[in-house]
């Protein structure tokens, strides 16, 4: 309202009267007078000396005129730039994704997206730990597991199967585990999520679910590194099927304990709690969702 009153004040000065400014703005003379009085009350000064024949700017009024033209011009420019970014596919998108998923599927989809929308720039940050979506300024964040921040907007992408797998070379040397309990005698590659060690691997569903505590000589907080270790034959890992689908198809990795499948984990797309979402963000979110659904359909 303050900026609106300042803009009206400039119209009064330019038109030379309250009535003329009112006609230009579609306001009654009484309303114009009330808004001018409100503006003077806000600043605590008289801006115009009014007589029956003329309006004369006070010193404070002249100062406001000089500054208001620059300020209102900058506001209009800012509004134009913001509206352009909200209504067209241009601007920057900040994305957070788990390391393995980000390096593979998300990176490939970003490449395709940018080829179609060259006016967009994307900043992709990879992390398997907690990220502050709002504090770190992310537009989109992909995360496995339940959402702990209820203020975020959530787009569920469906349950994702997790698989236990290993390289053929490891299995030739150490043998193939036949039951989940057999993992206790194997070298398991363990993920760390912040202060939590993901070494309790769950199998089965509902009442039949059980957990096996595993251990091994390698622990990392980077899922892509754990996958590299597994491909190199260093041990057995528990991983999202999204991350290892190509490895399983090619035979680089072998799925284990298929009859004791671990429970699926949800994959979520998170957004900051703002009401308006730029068109560029919606477009990328839709493309990523379609890509993930396509992989699940092919699995």
Question: Where would I find the H helices in the chain?
Answer: 2-15, 18-25, 29-43, 59-87, 99-101, 107-116, 168-174, 223-231, 241-250, 279-298
| H-run or E-run covering 40 | helix 29-43
In this prediction, residue 275 carries a pLDDT of: 59
Q: Which CATH superfamily is domain 91-156+270-298 in?
A: Periplasmic binding protein-like II (3.40.190.10)
Q: Is 14 exposed, middle or buried (0-12, 13-18, 19+ CB in 10 A)?
A: exposed
Task: Give the 3-state secondary structure of residue 64.
Answer: helix
Measured between alpha carbons, how far is 265 from 161 in angstroms, rounded to an integer?
A: 7
Annotation: CATH topology of 162-263: D-Maltodextrin-Binding Protein; domain 2 (3.40.190)
**In the prediction, which pLDDT does 285 show?**
95
Beta bridge partners of 210: 203
- Cβ-proximal residues to 178 (8 Å cutoff; 6+ apart), any chain: 257
What pLDDT is attached to residue 255?
96
CA distance 234 to 169: 9
First CA to last CA across the chain, in angstroms?
56
Domain range summary for the chain, segments of one domain joined by +: 2-87, 91-156+270-298, 162-263
Written as tens digits, the pLDDT of the chain (299 aa) is 788 888 888 888 888 888 888 888 888 888 988 998 998 898 899 988 877 677 888 888 888 887 877 777 777 767 766 766 656 678 889 999 999 999 989 999 999 999 999 889 999 999 988 888 888 889 999 999 888 777 889 999 988 899 999 999 999 999 999 999 999 999 999 999 878 899 999 998 766 788 999 999 999 999 999 999 999 999 999 999 989 999 999 999 999 999 998 888 899 999 988 656 788 899 999 999 998 876 643 44
List 239's β-bridge partners, or say none. Answer: 163
Model pLDDT, residue 131: 86
Place of tokens 């306001």: 27
Say if 2-87 and 91-156+270-298 have the same CATH topology: no
Q: Which of 9, 125, 11 is nearest to 60 (CA)?
A: 9
CA distance 24 to 17: 11
Please, what CATH class does the domain formed by 2-87 belong to? mainly alpha
**What's the pLDDT score for residue 52?**
66
pLDDT at site 276: 67
| Whole-structure pTM value | 0.67
Strands 188-193, 218-220: pairing kind: parallel
């Amino acid at each position: 309202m303050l900026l609106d009153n300042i803009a009206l004040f400039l119209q009064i000065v330019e038109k030379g009267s309250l009535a003329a400014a009112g006609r230009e703005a579609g306001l009654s003379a009484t309303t114009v007078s009330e808004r001018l009085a409100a503006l003077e009350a806000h600043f605590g000064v008289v801006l115009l000396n009014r007589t029956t024949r003329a309006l004369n700017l006070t010193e404070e009024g002249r100062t406001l005129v000089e500054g208001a033209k620059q300020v209102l011009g900058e506001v209009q420019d800012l509004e134009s730039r913001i509206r352009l970014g909200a209504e067209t596919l241009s601007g920057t998108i900040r994305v957070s994704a788990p390391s393995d998923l980000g390096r593979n599927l998300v990176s490939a989809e970003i490449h395709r997206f940018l080829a179609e929308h060259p006016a967009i720039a994307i900043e992709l940050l990879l992390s398997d730990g907690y990220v502050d979506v709002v504090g770190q300024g992310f537009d989109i964040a992909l995360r496995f597991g339940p959402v702990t921040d209820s203020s975020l907007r959530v787009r569920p992408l469906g349950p994702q199967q997790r698989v236990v797998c290993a390289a053929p070379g490891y299995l030739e040397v150490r043998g193939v585990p036949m039951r989940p309990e057999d993992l206790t005698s194997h070298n398991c590659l363990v993920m760390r999520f912040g202060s939590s060690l993901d070494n309790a691997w769950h199998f089965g569903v509902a009442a039949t679910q059980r957990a096996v505590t595993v251990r091994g000589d390698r622990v990392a907080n980077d899922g892509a590194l754990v996958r590299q270790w597994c491909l190199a034959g260093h041990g057995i890992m528990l991983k999202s099927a999204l991350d290892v689908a190509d490895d399983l198809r090619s035979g680089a990795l072998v799925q284990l304990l298929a009859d004791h499948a671990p429970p699926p984990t949800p994959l979520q797309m998170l957004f900051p709690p703002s009401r308006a979402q730029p068109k560029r963000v919606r477009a990328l979110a839709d493309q990523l969702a379609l890509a993930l659904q396509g992989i699940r359909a092919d699995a």
